Amino acid sequence: MALRTFSAMDSNDARFNYVLRLGDNALVLGQRLSELVTRAPELEEELATANFALDYIGQARLFYSYAGELEARGRGEDDFAYLRDEREFRNLLLVEQPNGHFGDTIVRQFLFESFYVLQLEALTDCSDARIAEVAARAVKEIRYHLRHVSQWLVRLGDGTAESHARVQQSLDDQWRLTGEMFAGDEVDETFRLNWNGPQLEQLEADWSSRVDAVLAEATLTRPPAQWMAGGGRQGRHSEHLGYLVAEMQFLQRAYPGARW
Amino acid sequence: MSSIPQQAGSLTLEDVRTLLHAVADPEIPVLSIMDLGIVRDVVLEPDGVEVHVSPTYTGCPATEVIEQMIVSKLQRNGVERVTIKRVLSPPWTTEWLSETGRQKLRRYGIAPPEHAAGKRSLLGRSAVHCPRCSTERTTQVSEFGSTPCKASYKCDECLEPFEYFKCI
């Protein structure tokens, strides 16, 4: 879909794309976290990441079914998950990053969920009742995750010299992927104007101060302001997403129309 | 108001509620879905029943199983048309768990959620009592457990491991 200028953006089209992005963030991160089943560093963390994954996939389903209704072309949750190519996904680059080592996983989770929890809180006040009620349900789940990953960030950052160095490196590596969360486009702007959607400048300020507070407790250094990567929300992804999508969609591609 | 049907088939509202009390949570079979507080409303219609259900967690795999169980329970008892309406708002909270439900959980070996659910008790640390010996001297082993609604604990007195139904 070609991006249109802001003034020409149809408001329903903007709302559909806004919901689709929410669904894509949730599905892609849920799929990533599922990869840790049977290979997390310890049993408790396997339980945790599997529980996270379940919450995300549940949230993705709610967003996708609503996106399908808004689009009104007969597509449902499975069509969005299994029958779109990589370029049609509208998730943030951050959530598609590989799990890496445990510190990488925790940092990715911390940076994204610190944002997502604020986005959901803001969405509980939006004037689209359906989005508001999904957000109210989801925010309770994400708060619980965020508490868990924040504790891990502190434990790793303020742990041994080795764990500190490695998690600081994870933070430095992923920082350039955080700018995209606040780089609004016509979808965000149209959604904000028509449905009282989140103010991205406000989210960024709140995110920044919350992140700084946890980093300070973890004795980690906030990376310097730098060039920020972007494009995921417009369908231009890192090479990692294609592999994730290929694995996730294998069954539907090999046996089209297969049902559970 | 005469337009509201008093019966669905041969069943009254009370009959339907009694039947729903016999539908067990598939993951914690000692609890009925009524104990769990996820049935938000039962509406009698001329040709059937509409049951309003709130999922506990968005991704809880039991949600769909529970809906199928409700439909088959009511149909086997003579209700022709059963409609399930999924209600997200207000979101389900452990405050809706009934007192009977709490007692059943404790007897089953799962510590029931501490009262005053919400942001504070979800994110703060409140004392969890061992369901076996009731002591407060317990330790959290993991914030997560075998289902989305539980965390894992152990008792420091009787040394039993147990699950805690977490507040949300």
CATH of the domain at B80: 3.30.300.130
Count up the domains in chain B and report the number: 2
Name the residue among A44, A54, A134 with its Cβ closest to that of B141: A44
Using pLDDT thresholds of 50, 70 and 90, give the confidence band for residue B127. confident
Boundary of a domain, candidates B60, B86, B112: B86
Q: Does B92 reside within a domain?
A: no
Ranges under pLDDT 50 in chain A: 1-5
How far is A131 from A162, CA to CA, in rounded Å?
Answer: 43
B58 has a chain A CB within 8 A of its CB: yes
pLDDT on residue B2? 45
The pair of three-digit structure tokens given for residue A10, joined into one six-digit string? 């149809």
A37 has a chain B CB within 8 A of its CB: no
Boundary of a domain, candidates B86, B117, B134: B86
**Angle of helix A43-71 relative to helix A129-157, nearest 10 degrees?**
160
Q: Per the CB < 8 Å rule, is B58 touching A44? A: no
CA distance A78 to chain B (A): 15
The end-to-end CA distance of chain A, in Å, is 31
Contact B93, B117 (CB under 8 A): yes
Residue B77: exposed, middle, or buried by beta-carbon count in 10 A (0-12, 13-18, 19+)?
A: middle
Q: Does A76 reside within a domain?
A: yes
Please identify among residues 60-79 of chain B the ones whose CB lies closer than 8 Å to any CB of chain A: 60-61
Residues of chain A neighbouring B141 (CB-CB closer than 8 A) = 44
Q: Per the CB < 8 Å rule, is B57 touching A56? A: no
CATH of the domain at A43: 1.20.1260.10
Please write the tens of the pLDDT for every residue from B46-94: 889 999 999 888 888 888 899 999 999 999 999 989 999 999 889 899 9
Residues of chain B neighbouring A129 (CB-CB closer than 8 A) = 89
Q: Per the CB < 8 Å rule, is B89 touching A47? A: no
How far is A179 from B131, CA to CA, in rounded Å?
Answer: 47
A140 has a chain B CB within 8 A of its CB: yes
| Three-state DSSP class for residue B135 | coil
Specify whether B56 is located in the same domain as B116. no
CA distance A131 to chain B (A): 10
Contact A75, A68 (CB under 8 A): yes
Please write the tens of the pLDDT for every residue from A141-161: 999 999 999 999 999 999 999
Q: Does A183 reside within a domain?
A: yes
Q: Is the backbone of residue A176 left (phi > 0), alpha (psi -120 to 50) or beta?
A: alpha
Boundary of a domain, candidates B24, B59, B86: B86
Provide the residue range defining the domain that includes B139. Answer: 98-165
Q: Does A3 reside within a domain?
A: no
Count up the domains in chain A and report the number: 1
Specify whether B60 is located in the same domain as B111. no
Q: Does A175 reside within a domain?
A: yes
Provide the residue range defining the domain that includes A163. Answer: 11-223+232-254
The pair of three-digit structure tokens given for residue B73, joined into one six-digit string? 């329970």
pLDDT on residue B60? 83
Taking 70 as the threshold, does the pLDDT of residue B38 lie above it? yes
Q: Does B2 reside within a domain?
A: no
Amino acid identity for residue A124 in this structure: T
Please identify among residues 8-37 of chain B the ones whose CB lies closer than 8 Å to any CB of chain A: none
How far is A27 from A8, CA to CA, in rounded Å?
Answer: 29
Please give the angle made by the CA atoms of B44, B47 and B51, to the nearest 5 degrees.
40
Using pLDDT thresholds of 50, 70 and 90, give the confidence band for residue B1. very low
Q: Per the CB < 8 Å rule, is B58 touching A138? A: yes
Name the residue among A47, A54, A140 with its Cβ closest to that of B145: A47
